[in-house]
Structure 1
Amino acid sequence: MRYILVLVFGAVLLGVLWHAAARWLHDRAHVPQSVGLAITVGAVVAFTAGMLYLFGSEIAEQAESIAAVLPDALDQLRSTAREFGVGGWVDQQVERLTGAFAEGGSLGGMLMSIGNGLTDFIVVVVGSIFLAARPKLYRTGLIKLVPAARRNVAAATLDDMETALRLWFKGRLVAMIGVGLLVGIGLWLIGVPSFLALGLLAGLLEIIPFFGPILAAVPGILLALLVSPTHALLAAGLYLVIQQTEGNLITPIIQQHAVELPPAILLFSLLIFTYIFGVVGVLMAAPLTVVFYVLIKKLYVQEALDTPTPIPGEDR
């Protein structure tokens, strides 16, 4: 049931995004929202198919080459570590990492199982389209579950959650695209193989707070080590510079138009939701945190405690 509930939340999140795009077309081009939804879904499908047609085979080949050379890269890492006198410590860390992947009990192991969830992904996408096609029906149904005297508050809370989720996704999407492009171009300039797949991986993992950039950097640095230790140092420096740029320049600019979550809350929420929901908890931790952040501020701090507090995205 926990797994199904988080899939339902994924459908709601995606439905919010479909609805936001359809409403934008309605406001700008006066397109009926049903037609706008069809245009949005069709555009996303066409774009995805086009990207797969243009780059799919190359990305697949690069991904296969990464999987093939990673064992050699780990051996090279161990050999280099022994030369610097830290071979024992590196051997322990590599054994722990490979053991975690084999057991599937860590973030890395769980991420490896994402590819087995194609059916769940299709269910989420189809469910989100149903939700976006008739949002008022489901919204009204939820509000009717609340006592009549509190329905106005419930309606306002749903609106605040929708706004916060939409702004959060907009900020994450910009960061994902920016980081993916910077990593791919940077690795290409350095001369690291499979730069396209590594850039795509870095962009996708950017959705995971804190741990995503670390997971993305490991294969890039290992592949660079196969070229030479100098390339590995350059790749490590590249990842570090990009993440510092993202954290100190890109993200602050994005947060002016998005939703900002306190880092400590986001960190512990990631650990909690990962423990509760597993791999989907890793992916959904940030938007789930956005929802609970709004709920606590709106229903507890404002309504129960009668204390003024800003609601994420309420002024946009």
Structure 2
Amino acid sequence: MNDYGSPSGFVRRCFAVLAIVAFAAAVLALSELLMMIFAAVVIAVIVRAIARIFLRFGIPEGFAVTLAVFSLLSILTGLTWTFGGLVASQFAALLARIPEAIDATQQTFDGWGIDYDVRQAAADISEQMQGMTSQAGSFALSAGGVVTNILLILAGAIFFAAQPELYRQGLMRLVPKDREEVAETAFADSGRALGLWLQAQILSSIVVVILTYIGLVLVGVPSAAALAIIAGLLDFIPFIGPVIAGIPAVLIAFSVSPSTALWTVGVYVVIQQLQGNILQPLIQKRSVDLSPAVLLFAVVAAGSLFGLIGVILSAPLTVVGFVLIQRLYIEQVLGKEAKTPGPGGLGDEAPAKAASEEA
């Protein structure tokens, strides 16, 4: 007998609603921790991708992961040793020139008759960035907190990369037995999509760094290397990142001349067009097909919920969320065919086992 309208049914529904509310409150309260765990997963995917190179030579898995970690650290150390001094000096020069650049921009606007307070706008942007950063938690704002969080993320990434099957089985034990196969496929697709997205995004960022550096050098903007690295790092944030990266470049260019600033705007517009029409479709082809509007609002939503770290991780969060919606809602609830990630476009069904290996 259906007791949907009975008192006991009403009580169960109330408890269900309370459970959902409590779960949502717990997610918000633990948002910083959850974002750190997700960041560790993202780094673990990179480590596993490097480890697979060593696994092909028959090296044991544990030793392969150790070699992957040392290889990644060696690459970062080598880059820092080779270019660290140049980049550090350019960043120092960049920071020193920003006040001068703001004043030069204000004078140019005044000369053109443009009624816009650049100094106040710069102060507002700085205040907003500080407010967004504060949402990540007061613990993370201190220098010690930042270092501690980074170390925790790196340690978690190593643990995840060393024994991914252990943590996957732990998650599977939380899933009802009759839904294990669905969850297995969803987790495998998520890991595969994340790995493919990272590969394409890293390639995209490298191309953006090279193009930005060449363009800024050609138009005569100081601190071109530092500005190019900023552009490459912010390329991981869809839409908003490239715009933010262009602001300091244009300001610095104004300290040279208004014409240099206009050429700088042109450089960033051209690179943005290349990124949007060539590099971004490559990323989507390699991972999941996300519409520009979805990515844009995902950045805003992640920033509102999780602060600065949410903005940084908005793209991989959206990729994983898209795959889970496809498998758990589109396929299971609506009964429609799910779109799956993979080279050659979406819709290419891949075995769960192969997807698990990608993760």
TM-score under structure 1 normalisation? 0.92
Alignment check: 8 A CA contact 1:107 1:282 kept: no
251 and 114 in structure 1: CA distance in 2 versus 1, 3 angstrom threshold: farther
Measure the CA separation in 1 of the matches of 2:303 and 2:35: 11
Contact 1:110 1:278 in 2 (8 A): yes
Shift in Å, 1:97: 3.2
* C-alpha deviation, 1:197, in angstroms: 0.6
Stretches of structure 1 that go unaligned for 5 or more consecutive residues are none
Residue equivalent to 1:9: 38
Cα separation, partners in 2 of 1:110 and 1:60, compared to 1, 3 Å: farther
State the Cα deviation string for residues 227-269 of structure 1 (Å, max 9, x = none): 1112111111111111111111233244333333121111111
- Residue in structure 2 matched with residue 59 of structure 1 by the alignment: 87
Is the alpha carbon distance of 1:114 and 1:239 closer, same or farther for their aligned partners in structure 2, counting shifts above 3 Å? farther
Q: Is the contact made by 2:212 and 2:268 (CA closer than 8 Å) also made in structure 1?
A: yes
Q: Indicate whether 1:199 and 2:240 are aligned.
A: no
Check whether the contact 2:303–2:311 (CA below 8 A) recurs between aligned residues: yes
| Mapped pair 1:142 → 2:171 | yes
1:40 maps to what in 2? 68
Matched, 1:274 2:299: no
Is this contact kept in 2: 1:165–1:291, CA < 8 A?
yes
In terms of Rg, which structure is larger? 2
Q: Please give the alpha-carbon distance, in whole angstroms, between the structure 2 residues aligned to 1:96 and 1:231.
A: 21
Equivalent residue for 1:214, pick from 218, 237, 243: 243
> Does the 8 Å CA contact 2:302/2:314 hold for their aligned counterparts?
yes
Aligned to 1:231: 260
Identify which range, 60-69 or 12-21, moves more after superposition: 12-21
Contact kept? 2:134, 2:307, Cα under 8 Å: no
Amino acid at match of 2:120: E
Residue aligning to 1:100: 125
Please say if 1:305 is aligned against 2:334.
yes
Read off the aligned partner of 1:95 and give its amino acid letter: Q
Letter in 1 for 2:279: I
Aligned residues of 2:37 and 2:153 also touching (Cα < 8 A): yes
- Alpha-carbon contact 1:100-1:109 (below 8 Å) kept: no
Question: Under a length normalisation based on structure 2, what TM-score does the superposition of the two structures give?
Answer: 0.81
Aligned partners of 2:200 and 2:282 also within 8 Å: no
- Offset, 1:198: 0.7
Letter in 1 for 2:98: L
Task: Describe the superposition over 1:118-160 as per-residue Cα deviations: whole angstroms up to 9, x where unpaired.
Answer: 3211210111101111111110010011111111111111100
Which 10-residue stretch deviates more, 55-64 or 159-168? Answer: 55-64
Give the unaligned 5+ runs of structure 2: 1-29, 343-347, 351-359
Q: 1:70 aligns with which of 88, 98, 103?
A: 98
Q: Distance in 2 between matches of 1:281 and 1:102?
A: 18
Residues 176 and 10 of structure 1: is their aligned pair in 2 closer, same or farther, counting only changes over 3 Å? same
Q: Is the 8 A contact 1:221 1:236 kept in 2?
A: yes
Within 5 A, what are the aligned runs for 1:181-196?
181-196=210-225
Amino-acid identity (%): 36
1:69-88 matched pairs, under 5 angstroms: 69-86=97-114, 88=115
Number of the residue aligned with 1:121: 150
Moved over 4 A (4+): 105-111, 113-116
- Report if the CA contact (8 A) 2:284-2:290 is conserved: no
The alpha carbon displacement at 1:205 in A equals 0.6
In 2, Cα distance between equivalents of 1:107 and 1:215: 14
Number of aligned positions between the proteins: 311
Please state whether the residue corresponding to 2:74 is helix, strand or coil. helix
1:33 to partner: Cα distance: 2.0
Distance 1:110 1:100 in 2: 16
Tell me, yes or no, if structure 1 residue 130 matches structure 2 residue 155: no
Q: Do structure 1's residue 20 and structure 2's residue 49 form an aligned pair?
A: yes
Task: Tell me by how many angstroms 1:14 deviates.
Answer: 1.5
RMSD of aligned residue pairs (Cα, Å): 2.1
CA offsets per residue over residues 3-41 of structure 1, 9 Å max, x none?
111111111121122223323432x32322222212211
Q: Is the contact between residue 205 and residue 212 of structure 1 (CA under 8 Å) also seen in structure 2?
A: yes
Secondary structure of residue in 1 paired with 2:185: helix
